[in-house]
Amino acid sequence: MKADYEEHNAILIACCMMKIKAKFDTEEGLNFIQQYYINQGLKKFGDDGKDAVDKELRQMLLRDCFTPKFVRDMTASEQKKTRSAMMLLAEKQFEKTIIGCLVYQGVGTREWLL
């Protein structure tokens, strides 16, 4: 698909692309985010880590991703259908904020990212 741009739009797009590249182009090359399992992350980030976990879980509940249940209230059939989840914590490098990420069975939840 070919897109035609007026000259001023093309210059604006090129400037934006260069600014994005400059932000991520460091002497060390690309930077990667170090993720921590929840126990390690809470030790490292303290209350900020707790807030990140709370924010992630609230977001999942608000989006109806799952409904929490006690295992004792589940039938054997329901227990077989459950999936393991893992909470990870990381610090965003540029914003210096702590984020939580809930993943299922240790794999990405969006297949198109893999």
Residue 65: per-residue pLDDT: 81
Residue 2: per-residue pLDDT: 57
Residue 6 has pLDDT above 90, yes or no: no
At residue 100's C-alpha, the angle toward residues 19 and 111, to 5°, is 75
- Phi (first) and psi of residue 66, to 5 degrees: -160, 165
pTM of the model: 0.60
Kindly report, residue by residue over 9-52, the tens digit of the pLDDT: 888 888 888 877 777 666 555 556 788 999 999 999 999 999 99
Kindly report, residue by residue over 62-110, the tens digit of the pLDDT: 888 878 889 999 999 988 888 778 899 998 877 788 999 888 764 554 5
- Phi (first) and psi of residue 99, to 5 degrees: -120, 150
Strand order across the beta sheet in which 98-104 lies: 35-37, 85-91, 98-104
Segment holding 9, helix H or strand E: helix 7-24
